[in-house]
Structure 1
Amino acid sequence: QEDNIFRRHRRLVVFDMDSTLIEAEVIDELAKEAGVGDQVIEITEAAMRGELDFNESFRRRVALLKGLDASVLESVAQRLPLTEGAEDLVSHLKMLGFKTAILSGGFTYFAEKLQKQLGFDYVYANQLDIRDGVVTGEVVGEIVNGDRKAQLLREIAEREGVRLEQTIAVGDGANDLPMLSIAGLGIAFRAKPLVRQSAKQAISTLGLDGILYLIGFRDRDSLR
C-alpha cells in the first residue's frame, strides 16, 4: 500500500456479495432449481472473466429463471455458505467504527438477509421481478453493474463525508474492477485472474478477515 495519511484513516468498506461475502453465485443456485444450471453457469463464468458485457449476460441469465417458484428463494438462502472470516471481519469493522456496504450484481432478497445477519449499513443489488409468486425472468429498475458499483461507492462516501482515499472495496469479478480502481484500497479477494492482475492488492489464500491485516490490525490487537 502507498504509505500516506489515508492508509491509517479508512472509514468505509464496500463488498461484492457473490463469491466474496458468500461462497456461491446465487444466480447459479437459482438456475439449478429452475433446471437451467449448466446454461446459466456457462454465461456466469464468461461474464466473470470479462468476456461478456455484464448487463447483457445478466439479462440472459435472469430470463432463463422465468417461471421459477418464488418460494425457492428462501430455500436457496438457507444453504448459502458465508465466506470464511466474513462474520469476524464485519463485526471487527463495526467495532472499529467503519461504515459497511454490500454492492452486488446479485439480488436484493439475499443481500438484505446478509444485511440483517451481519449488520451492514447499506445494501444495493438487483431486484428480481416476482408476480403471483413466480419469477418473471426480468429485474426491476437499474442493473447494478460495474459502473453502477463505482457510482454507488462515490455516493455513499459523499453521504458519509468520507474521501475516496479513505474507502476500501472488496470483490472477485470483472464487474468489481471499476470500484476496486477508485477506492483508496481495492482488494481482489480470491479473484479471477483478470481481476487479480488488475487490482493493486489481492488476497488469495486467507479468509476475508485477512483484510484486517491490510488495515493495520494485528493478531495481538483484541477488540473482544
Structure 2
Amino acid sequence: MTTHHLVVQSPGLTVEHAEQLAALAQAQGVARISNTAARLLDVQHDALTQAEVVAWADRKGVDVAFVPAGLKLSNCKVLAMDMDSTLINIECIDEIAGVVGVKDKVSEITEAAMRGEIKDFAESLRRRVALLKGVPAEALEQVYVEKLRLNPGAERLITTAQAAGIKVLLVSGGFTFFTDRLRERLKLDSAHANTLEIDNGLLTGQVVGDILDADAKAVYLREFARTHGATKEQIIAMGDGANDLKMLGAAGFPVAYHAKPLVREQTRFALNVTGLDGVLNWFES
C-alpha cells in the first residue's frame, strides 16, 4: 500500500492542531514545513479516517490534504486556474455593474450561478451582461486598476510552478479584457475568456461569439494538456464555483479554492483558509 502523508496548514496553525490531527490520522511523525504548515508522516488514509480528519479540520479552520509520499512538483506539467474569485479577489462582472449602480442585481445572479442554483451558465451570463448595456468601456479599466487584486499566494504559486517547468493556463467565464492583462502581467502560457461587445465606446449588453461555459473550460484544459503532453495525473486545476466542476474533474489534483459548498463537496482537495500557494506544500522538494 502506498504511504500517504497528511499536509496540514492554516494562517493560525498551532502545535495543538498538528498534534490533534496526528492522533486522528495515526501519524508516525511530524515534519514542520513552515510556521503555518506541517507534514504528518505515514498516516492512515482509509475513508473513515479521512472523513474524521476533514470534519475536525473544518471545525478548527485548518486545511488538510492526504497525499502520496514523495510527490514532486516537477512531475506535474499543467496548472489551470479560474480567474474570478480564484486567481483574483473579485467577480469582474459584479464590479463593472457597480460602476453604474446595478451591482446588487448582477451579484444576485452571479451568486446563484456559482452555487449551482442556475444550471445554465450561458443563460446566467447573458442575463448579467444584458444589465451592462450602455456602460462606458472605460469602466473595465477602472475595475482593473481600482478593484482587481491577485489573491494571496498567486504570484508565488505561478512563479514556482513555472520554475518547475509547468505550463499555466487561465480559463475563465469572465472577460478577455482582464484575462489578457493577467496573461501578460504573469507571463501565463495561455488565457481564454468571453469577449464583451463594445460599440461607440459603450458595452452593448452582449457577448461576442459563443459563451465560455463549464464544458468549454474542460475542453480548453484537455486541449492545453494534450499540447503539453500532460496526463490527468500531471494536471493541477483550481476553481471556486459550479462552473469549474468539469474542469476540476479533468485534473489529477482538483482544488476547490475558498469555494462554494457544492464545489467543496465534489472536489478531492480544498484550500479554505490558505492562500493559493498552499498547493505547493503538498509537494516535497
CA RMSD between the two structures: 1.6
3-state DSSP of counterpart to 2:270: strand
Q: Name the residue aligned to 2:33.
A: none
User: Is 1:137–2:210 an aligned residue pair?
Assistant: no
Aligned ranges for residues 159-174 of structure 1 at < 5 Å?
A: 159-174=227-242
State whether residues 7 and 166 of structure 1, in contact with CA within 8 Å, keep that contact through their aligned partners in structure 2: no
3-state DSSP of counterpart to 2:136: coil
User: Is 1:188–2:188 an aligned residue pair?
Assistant: no
Q: Which amino acid in structure 2 is aligned with residue 106 of structure 1?
A: G
Q: 1:164: Cα distance to partner?
A: 2.1
Q: Name the residue aligned to 1:89.
A: 157
Q: 1:78: Cα distance to partner?
A: 0.6
TM-score normalised over the length of structure 2: 0.73
User: Is 1:71–2:138 an aligned residue pair?
Assistant: yes
Q: 1:25 aligns with which of 91, 95, 98?
A: 91
Q: Please give the alpha-carbon distance, in whole angstroms, between the structure 1 residues aligned to 2:69 and 2:267.
A: 19
Q: 1:70: Cα distance to partner?
A: 0.3
Q: Name the residue aligned to 1:15.
A: 81
Q: 1:2: Cα distance to partner?
A: 6.3
Q: Unpaired segments of 5 or more residues in structure 1?
A: none
Q: 1:102 aligns with which of 170, 174, 177?
A: 170
Q: Please give the alpha-carbon distance, in whole angstroms, between the structure 1 residues aligned to 2:225 and 2:231.
A: 6
Q: Which amino acid in structure 1 is aligned with residue 127 of structure 2?
A: R
3-state DSSP of counterpart to 1:20: helix
Q: 1:165: Cα distance to partner?
A: 2.1
Q: 1:212: Cα distance to partner?
A: 0.8
State whether residues 11 and 98 of structure 1, in contact with CA within 8 Å, keep that contact through their aligned partners in structure 2: yes
Q: Name the residue aligned to 1:34.
A: 100
How many residue pairs end up in the alignment?
217
3-state DSSP of counterpart to 2:192: strand
- % same residue: 49
3-state DSSP of counterpart to 1:84: coil
Q: Please give the alpha-carbon distance, in whole angstroms, between the structure 2 residues aligned to 1:132 and 1:78.
A: 22
Q: 1:3: Cα distance to partner?
A: 3.8
Cα deviation code 1:81-129 (max 9, x no counterpart): 1100101111111111100010100000001111111111000000001
3-state DSSP of counterpart to 2:237: strand
Cα deviation code 1:125-168 (max 9, x no counterpart): 00001111110011111211111101111110111122122111
State whether residues 11 and 99 of structure 1, in contact with CA within 8 Å, keep that contact through their aligned partners in structure 2: yes
Q: Name the residue aligned to 2:114.
A: 48
The one of the two structures with greater contact order (alpha-carbon pairs below 8 A, sep at least 6) is: 1
Q: Which amino acid in structure 2 is aligned with residue 25 of structure 1?
A: E
User: Is 1:175–2:243 an aligned residue pair?
Assistant: yes
State whether residues 101 and 123 of structure 1, in contact with CA within 8 Å, keep that contact through their aligned partners in structure 2: yes
Cα deviation code 1:46-101 (max 9, x no counterpart): 00000002111100000000000001111110121110010111111111110001
Q: Name the residue aligned to 1:148.
A: 216
Q: Please give the alpha-carbon distance, in whole angstroms, between the structure 2 residues aligned to 1:116 and 1:154.
A: 22
User: Is 1:206–2:270 an aligned residue pair?
Assistant: no
Cα distance change of structure 1 residues 31 and 128 upon mapping to structure 2, 3 Å threshold: same
3-state DSSP of counterpart to 2:85: coil
State whether residues 168 and 184 of structure 1, in contact with CA within 8 Å, keep that contact through their aligned partners in structure 2: yes
User: Is 1:59–2:126 an aligned residue pair?
Assistant: yes
